[in-house]
Amino acid sequence: LPGTGLSVNNINYNKIRGDLVVQVSAPRSESLVNFSATLIKAGLNVEIGTISQQEGSVLGSLKIQAFGR
């Protein structure tokens, strides 16, 4: 994702739950937290999933829903 320091590894949309789960890698966990805050400011409901350290980067997931879900 340009300008974020994040790389998308996987995207999964679940129509029944109405959510989008994006698995990303980042140089630091702060990058993931900052991107989550940006999405929240844009009006989305975002939850950060498990974050794990892997060989100089972090892997994590974001569960994204529109408000009202």
Write out pLDDT tens, residues 4-38. 789 999 999 998 888 999 999 999 999 999 999 99
Q: What pLDDT, on the 0 to 100 scale, is given for residue 1? A: 67
**Distance from CA of residue 6 to its chain's centroid?**
9
* Global pTM exceeds 0.95: no
